[in-house]
Structure 1
Amino acid sequence: MGKIFYKRLSIWYIKFQVSNSPQMNLVLGFFLYTIIGFILLSIPLFHKVDVSILDNLFISTSAISTSGLSTISIINSYNFFGQLIILILIQFGGIGYMTLTTYFLLFTTNKITHWHNRLIGAEFTLPETIQIKDFIKSVIVFTLIMEIIGALLFFIAFSDYGMGNLKAVWFSVFHSISSFCTAGFALFDNGFESYHDNIFINIIVAVLAISGSLGFIIITDLWHRISGKSKEISFTTKIIFYGFLLLLFLGTLLFYFKESGSNHTLMTSFFQSMSAMTTVGFNTIPIGELSLPILLLIIFLMYIGASPSGTAGGMKITTLTAMLSILKSRLFGQKNITFLNRSIPFERIYVATSTFILYTSLIFLFTFLLSYSENFSLDKILFEVASALGTVGLSMGITGDLSSTGKILIIILMFLGRVGVLTFGFALLHRKKQKQKNIKEEDLAT
Structure 2
Amino acid sequence: MEFLGTIAFYIAFHQEGITGLKGVWFSLFHSVSSFCTAGFSLFNDSFESFSANTLINWTISILAIAGSLGFIVITDVWYRITGKSKNITFTTKIIVYGFILLLGIGTLIFYFNEPYAQVSDHRLMKAFFQSMTSMTTVGFNTVSISSLSLPLLLLTIFLMYIGASPSGTAGGMKITTLTAMVAILKSRLLGQKKITFLKRTIPLERLFVATSTFILYTSMIFLFSFLLSFTEQSSFDKILFEVASALGTVGLSTGITTDLSELGKSLIILLMFLGRVGVLTFGFALLMRMTKQPLEAKSEDLAV
Q: TM-score range by the shorter chain?
A: over 0.9
- 1:284 counterpart SS class: coil
Which amino acid letter does the alignment assign opposite residue 252 of structure 1?
Answer: T
- 1:443 counterpart SS class: coil
The alpha carbon displacement at 1:216 in A equals 2.1
Render the CA deviation track for 1:68-102: whole Å, top value 9, x for unaligned.
xxxxxxxxxxxxxxxxxxxxxxxxxxxxxxxxxxx
Aligned partner of 1:185 among 40, 45, 53: 40
Aligned partner of 2:221 among 344, 353, 363: 363
The alpha carbon displacement at 1:226 in A equals 6.1
The separation in 2 between residues aligned to 1:170 and 1:347, in whole angstroms, is 46
Which amino acid letter does the alignment assign opposite residue 227 of structure 2?
Answer: L
TM-score of the superposed pair, with normalisation by structure 2:
0.96
The corresponding residue for 1:237 is 92
Aligned partner of 1:305 among 163, 166, 185: 163
The corresponding residue for 2:266 is 408
The alpha carbon displacement at 1:403 in A equals 1.0
The alpha carbon displacement at 1:147 in A equals 0.7
Describe the shift of the 1:230–1:434 C-alpha distance in structure 2 as closer, same or farther (beyond 3 A): farther
Task: Report whether the alignment pairs 1:255 with 2:110.
Answer: yes
Which amino acid letter does the alignment assign opposite residue 195 of structure 1?
Answer: F
Structure with higher helix content:
1
Which amino acid letter does the alignment assign opposite residue 422 of structure 1?
Answer: L
The separation in 2 between residues aligned to 1:427 and 1:278, in whole angstroms, is 27
The corresponding residue for 1:436 is 294
Which amino acid letter does the alignment assign opposite residue 263 of structure 1?
Answer: V
Contact 2:73 2:167 in 1 (8 A): no
Task: Report whether the alignment pairs 1:274 with 2:129.
Answer: no
Paired residues for 1:39-438 under 5 Å: 146-225=1-80, 230-259=85-114, 260-263=116-119, 265-438=123-296
TM-score of the superposed pair, with normalisation by structure 1:
0.66
The separation in 1 between residues aligned to 2:81 and 2:112, in whole angstroms, is 39
The separation in 2 between residues aligned to 1:358 and 1:435, in whole angstroms, is 24
The alpha carbon displacement at 1:330 in A equals 0.2
**How many percent identity over aligned positions?**
70
The alpha carbon displacement at 1:230 in A equals 4.0
The corresponding residue for 1:129 is none
The separation in 1 between residues aligned to 2:142 and 2:83, in whole angstroms, is 41
The alpha carbon displacement at 1:439 in A equals 1.6
Render the CA deviation track for 1:397-437: whole Å, top value 9, x for unaligned.
01111111111000000000001100111112113443232
Which amino acid letter does the alignment assign opposite residue 296 of structure 1?
Answer: L
Which ranges of structure 1 fall in alignment gaps of 5 or more residues? 1-145
The alpha carbon displacement at 1:350 in A equals 0.3
The separation in 2 between residues aligned to 1:231 and 1:433, in whole angstroms, is 44
The separation in 1 between residues aligned to 2:70 and 2:138, in whole angstroms, is 13
The alpha carbon displacement at 1:280 in A equals 0.5
- 1:385 counterpart SS class: helix
Describe the shift of the 1:433–1:178 C-alpha distance in structure 2 as closer, same or farther (beyond 3 A): same
The alpha carbon displacement at 1:225 in A equals 4.1
Contact 2:37 2:64 in 1 (8 A): yes
Which amino acid letter does the alignment assign opposite residue 272 of structure 1?
Answer: Q
Render the CA deviation track for 1:165-188: whole Å, top value 9, x for unaligned.
111111111100100011111000
The separation in 2 between residues aligned to 1:262 and 1:383, in whole angstroms, is 23
Which ranges of structure 2 fall in alignment gaps of 5 or more residues? none
The separation in 2 between residues aligned to 1:379 and 1:261, in whole angstroms, is 22
CA RMSD of aligned residues (A): 1.4
The separation in 1 between residues aligned to 2:195 and 2:242, in whole angstroms, is 34
Which amino acid letter does the alignment assign opposite residue 102 of structure 2?
Answer: L
Render the CA deviation track for 1:290-349: whole Å, top value 9, x for unaligned.
110111111000000011110100000000000000000000000000001110000110
The alpha carbon displacement at 1:228 in A equals 6.5
The corresponding residue for 1:78 is none
